[in-house]
Structure 1
Amino acid sequence: MDLFTRSWAALRTAVDELSGDDWERPSGCTGWLVRDLVCHLIVDAQDVLITLVTPADAEPTVDSVTYWDLVEPPTGEDPLDALIPRLAAAYGEPRWLKFHFDDVGSAAGRAAELADPHARVGTRDEVLTVGDYLSAYVMEWTLHHLDLMAHLPASADPPAETLAAARAALEEIAGASFPAAFSDKDALLVGTGRRAPADAERAALGQLAARIPFVLG
């Protein structure tokens, strides 16, 4: 849960520091501008708030790792993916998008800090503990932090400890380890298809190169 707080705080800071043309730059999510990604993060924050107030009595069916499934790369035909840019555009000026993100994002952060990590909640037709649910979101926040800064070279990286945790989770989900020479950031970017591996990286990946990208859903 501490990593959730750190990763979310870092991502919220990165959004708060956006200015001017930053909002209209491409993000690391294909087809989405930075403003679209921030709109998606508002939806994510709302999901956190909804899940934390959706108690479940059943035994957990997933944990922080098995919460994620490996899925096929997106085709761009998902209705929600197409809706996000329209929602983002409806805000008009970026300051209103930033205001709503800060408002909902702050609430999600506070709710996470106040939640009982041992309580069980339901989401996506699964049951898991609050601690596992919030731990699963470290992956989401870390990858989207990388997406946010994809074309903003002056932006700070996600915290080192959350990059390491996200890499470890991705390796466990995929059932494979990335070469030790890969930094945590590069393992996440290459492993999830956010950038193509360089020739030397592809050689180091060996047979694993044929399995990437690992897309989470």
Structure 2
Amino acid sequence: ELVAVPQDKIIAVPDDISFDAAASVLLQGLTAHYLTQDSYSIQPGDYVLVHAAAGGVGQLLVQIAKLLGGQVIGLTSSSEKAKAAAQVGADYVFLYEDNWVEQVKEVTKRGADVAYESVGVTLEKSFEAVKTGGTVVFYGMAGGDPAPVDPRMLMDTSKTLTGGDLWNVLVSYEERKVRSQQLFEWISKGQLVLTDPVVFDLKDGTKAHELLESRKSTGKILLRP
């Protein structure tokens, strides 16, 4: 019933934000926040390619990119997930089974300005999908390790590869406070909409893991004691 937490690690939850919402948004929301502010600063009019756009971080990336004025292209593994990505604001959604690199080029005419790469094995295609001088932000490898990147390709195409890890950003209480408050403000104003989490009793933790591993979930999965 009680947990001891260092005072500088506590994040105050506003009265109008539920504990379910706070639990759902903080880790993935703070990740999406730094990816769109620090790893690559999205500018109005940018074409933003988001991998796994129906996932937890993906849906938040789509919405934050739209808030910042970007044109968002989502990638998903199924038609059902494509609908979820479109519902949160993706301007275009393509399936991995299709030739999505050519589809991205067709939409943008020049390639995306930035690709948020969380699959890993699709890293090479992400580079193909961004424009000359574009950026690939690598922050996950849910689908497996990426192939090595040839630095000569980066030189020849003037493309940028950057990585990101949340714990290299949230290095102070002030960072955690300011960024969390930004997320809570967007939620309060209805600018950031969270998919209702799927909640399991703690005793049903096995079922929660099975759902997660099935790749059928499109939002956050919570365990409640």
Q: TM-score, normalised by structure 1?
A: 0.29
Higher relative contact order (CA 8 A, sep 6+): 1
Name the structure with the higher helix share. Answer: 1
Q: TM-score, normalised by structure 2?
A: 0.28
Name the structure with the higher strand share. Answer: 2
